[in-house]
Chain A
Amino acid sequence: MMRRAVAVLVVLACAAGVAAYQATRPGRAAANPHVFVPSPKFFLDFSPNFRTSIADVYYLDMIQYYGEHLRGGHLQSLPAMVDLVTTLSPHFKRAYIFGAFALTDVGRPDLSVKLLERGFAANPDDFAFPAYLGYFSYQYGTGSKQANDAAAARWYQRAASIPGSPPYLLRLAAVLAGKGGQQVKAIDMWGQVYAGGDKYARQKAVDGLDRILPTDKLARMKALTPLQSTLSPKDFEALIAELFKGYLQ
């Protein structure tokens, strides 16, 4: 009888100990901002079959790492992680996009651009890459505002030329070209928008052109002349009609 009681007490004490130990573990230990990130080369040599799985693991890890250290601002290992994930999984679009934006938080938009360029090289049929590159040129370009806008316009135009891209990209390109001091290009692009667009797009084209065209009637006409060869006669006439509304004929 005594023995049994002692045995039960021992077991209960152990159970209590187990629970107590777990309950008294210190709360989240401060995570180390310096994470060891293996070089991509290691994994590229290592196991071809598990490349994408490893990329996925590091992708999730990267997101967690970013979330944890963003506030403190210590994101030193981020560029290495982004590099690793995208090297192991070159078609992993979201990794590039996330990485590009995350890198701006590390103060390295130049790396973002390089990353996106790599992504575009690996995925030339994806318009998202040049579109984001356009945004980054616009937002984080290193030259004057006008130069940035011009560069952005070039990227957006490239994006627009990829089959399957949404129509607004060309409009964006045209606006930025105009702002970037590339008037001729802008006019040409607006012309394309007009030629290929629906009623909404055409209205946008007209507004866009109206904004950048000279107000002098002759100058306006001269500027519009190149469009005669790219637009159908019907379209060209309609466009002229819109742009010269209110101008005495």
Chain B
Amino acid sequence: MRQVRAIAINTFKETIRDRVLAVIVIFALVMIVGGLWLGSISLGEQGRMMKDFGLATVTGFGLIVAVFIAAGLVHKEVEKRTIFVIFSKPVSRSAFIAGKFLGLCGTMAVVLAGMGLFLFALVGILDGHVSGMVLLAVLMVYVQLLAIMAVTIFFSTLGSAILASVLGICVFIAGQLSQNVLSLTRLGKNPLTEALSWVIYTIVPNLSAVDVKAGVVGEQTLAWGQIGLWTVYLLAYVVVVLALAALVFRRKEF
């Protein structure tokens, strides 16, 4: 455990320097300019536009940062040969994967917290009152991104970093369309496509089970039980995927 912690802290130090603060600043600027502009042409719906656009932007920026850093995590060590320093010591492959993932979780928490708080403040100013729902929505984006980070790390153990990042983004999109895949399984036309759909439906993380955005803009009331269950599901998903990544990684040679 101490090893996992050491690797995690090291990874955090490594990734947080990755111009992370710059991302938050750029995000802030995009929000101010873009969000306010959209609000200005919305006939008085500034608050709603800012919330919607804001959460979409948090998701977009968060996704890009998470995927690209995650894809490079393992790769950078192999390429830069710092990996010899680690595995010539009694460190298990699993501890390495776990530590890398946790370090990245820390960095992403900082990024999303930065963006989330800024959005929270901006919405508060526009609406005249603060909405805790915005922070909850950002938290849910974070949980979704954890699943995608795990998947990306898994792909990175298989091969190239670029492929891993592209696949990570694809899985995110597929996750958003999870409901549609489910409806494919119920078409009942061809047992083969049905089976295939079921496989895809189970493997891809379900990122569309709860619509937090709708709750934030007031379209839906959120069921806390559903949100809790969804979070537990995503965390379990992370555990499974990281275990698979560790398994693949065990076979790797340096």
Touching in the complex, A and B, CB below 8 A? yes
**Interface residues in chain A, defined as those with a beta carbon under 8 Å from any beta carbon in chain B:** 45-53, 56, 59-60, 63-64, 89-92, 94, 98
Q: Which of B45, B183, B207 has the most CB of A within 10 A?
A: B45
Given contacts A49-B176, A52-B214, 15 further A-B contacts (CB under 8 A): A45-B180, A45-B183, A47-B176, A48-B179, A48-B211, A52-B213, A56-B53, A59-B45, A60-B38, A60-B42, A63-B41, A64-B41, A89-B219, A91-B219, A94-B44
Contact B217 A52 (CB under 8 A): yes
Contact A63 B219 (CB under 8 A): no
Task: Please name the 10 residue pairs, one residue from A and one from B, whose CB atoms are nearest each other, closest first.
Answer: A49-B208, A52-B214, A56-B52, A91-B219, A49-B211, A52-B219, A53-B52, A52-B217, A48-B208, A48-B179
User: Contacts of B32 on A, CB cut-off 8 Å?
Assistant: none
User: Contacts of A45 on B, CB cut-off 8 Å?
Assistant: 180, 183
Contact A52 B45 (CB under 8 A): no
Contact B42 A63 (CB under 8 A): yes
Q: How far in angstroms is the closest Cβ of chain B from A241?
A: 45
User: Contacts of B43 on A, CB cut-off 8 Å?
Assistant: 63, 94, 98
Which size class do B's interface residues fall under? 20 to 34
Task: Tell me how many residue pairs across A and B have CB atoms closer than 8 Å.
Answer: 55
Contact with A along B33-52 (1 / 0, CB 8 A): 00000100111110011001
A contacts with B: majority SS = helix
Contact A49 B219 (CB under 8 A): no
Partner of B180, one of A46, A52, A59, A64: A46
Q: Which residue of B lies closest to A98 (CB)?
A: B43
User: Contacts of A60 on B, CB cut-off 8 Å?
Assistant: 38, 41-42, 49
B177 is an interface residue with CB less than 8 A from chain A: yes
Q: Which residue of B lies closest to A95 (CB)?
A: B45
Bound complex: CA A90 to CA B220 (Å): 10
User: Contacts of A94 on B, CB cut-off 8 Å?
Assistant: 43-45
Q: Which residue of A lies closest to B220 (CB)?
A: A91
Bound complex: CA A48 to CA B41 (Å): 25
Q: Which residue of B lies closest to A56 (CB)?
A: B52
Contact B213 A53 (CB under 8 A): yes
User: Contacts of A50 on B, CB cut-off 8 Å?
Assistant: 176, 213
Bound complex: CA A91 to CA B56 (Å): 20
Q: Could you jot down 6 A-B contacts, CB within 8 Å?
A: A47-B176, A52-B219, A60-B42, A64-B41, A90-B219, A94-B43
B159 is an interface residue with CB less than 8 A from chain A: no
User: Contacts of B213 on A, CB cut-off 8 Å?
Assistant: 49-50, 52-53
Contact with A along B228-241 (1 / 0, CB 8 A): 00000000000000
Bound complex: CA A116 to CA B44 (Å): 19
Bound complex: CA A60 to CA B208 (Å): 25
Q: Which residue of A lies closest to B215 (CB)?
A: A52
Contact B45 A91 (CB under 8 A): no
Q: Which residue of A lies closest to B175 (CB)?
A: A49
User: Contacts of B214 on A, CB cut-off 8 Å?
Assistant: 51-52
Contact B218 A91 (CB under 8 A): yes
Bound complex: CA A52 to CA B219 (Å): 8
Bound complex: CA A241 to CA B140 (Å): 65
Bound complex: CA A59 to CA B214 (Å): 15
Chain B positions 183-229 with a Cβ under 8 Å from a chain A Cβ: 183, 207-208, 211, 213-214, 217-219
Q: Which residue of A lies closest to B55 (CB)?
A: A53
Contact A92 B219 (CB under 8 A): yes
User: Contacts of B180 on A, CB cut-off 8 Å?
Assistant: 45-47
Contact A51 B211 (CB under 8 A): yes
Q: Which residue of A lies closest to B217 (CB)?
A: A52
User: Contacts of A90 on B, CB cut-off 8 Å?
Assistant: 219
Contact B52 A52 (CB under 8 A): yes
User: Contacts of A59 on B, CB cut-off 8 Å?
Assistant: 42, 45
Q: How far in angstroms is the closest Cβ of chain B from A189?
A: 32
Q: Which residue of A lies closest to B213 (CB)?
A: A52
Q: How far in angstroms is the closest Cβ of chain B from A116?
A: 17
Contact B177 A47 (CB under 8 A): yes
Q: Which of B41, B43, B207, B208 has the most CB of A within 10 A?
A: B43
Chain B positions 117-167 with a Cβ under 8 Å from a chain A Cβ: none
User: Contacts of B41 on A, CB cut-off 8 Å?
Assistant: 60, 63-64
Partner of A53, one of B56, B177, B208, B218: B56
User: Contacts of B177 on A, CB cut-off 8 Å?
Assistant: 46-47
User: Contacts of B42 on A, CB cut-off 8 Å?
Assistant: 59-60, 63
Partner of B208, one of A47, A56, A92: A47
User: Contacts of A91 on B, CB cut-off 8 Å?
Assistant: 218-219
User: Contacts of A46 on B, CB cut-off 8 Å?
Assistant: 177, 180
User: Contacts of B45 on A, CB cut-off 8 Å?
Assistant: 59, 94
